[in-house]
Amino acid sequence: MSDIIRDFKKYSHKLMASIIESGEESRNQWMAHQFAYNGRINPNNKDWQIWSNDNHPEECFSDKFTKSKLNYIHENPVRAGIVAKPEDYLYSSASNYFLGKGLLDIELL
């Protein structure tokens, strides 16, 4: 599992960096500043840091456990103070669960 997460982070880091550097992303200057700052405070990094260094993969062994983790993910924008309710965050699947339709089509658990 750790190898999969490492490879995903490596791939998505390269993809996100290229999109930010191309100027396609409307918040590219802000994002570049944030990632450069995170890279400077990490002594093991010489450039941008998009992902945290650690990960704690856990097998979703039951529906209850999986739903608990999904709820945790949906609550992240609320905890960060971005939105008041999980379903209000545009880039979350929470709206699919709460409102029946979100930005992306997903398969509900």
Count of helices and strands (H, E) across the chain? 4, 0
pLDDT of residue 69: 93
Supply the pLDDT for residue 31.
87
Instruction: Specify the pTM.
Output: 0.59
Q: How far apart are CA 51 and CA 42, in angstroms?
A: 11
Profile the chain (109 residues) by mean pLDDT over runs of 10 residues: 86 88 85 87 81 81 93 94 92 90 84
SS (H, E, C) 7-71: HHHHHHHHHHHHHHHHCCCCCHHHHHHHHHHHHHCCCCCCCCCCCCCCCCCCCCCCHHHHHHHHH
The confidence score (pLDDT) of residue 50 equals 83
pLDDT at 62: 94
The CA distance from 45 to 69, in Å, is 29
Tell me, what's the pLDDT at 54?
A: 79
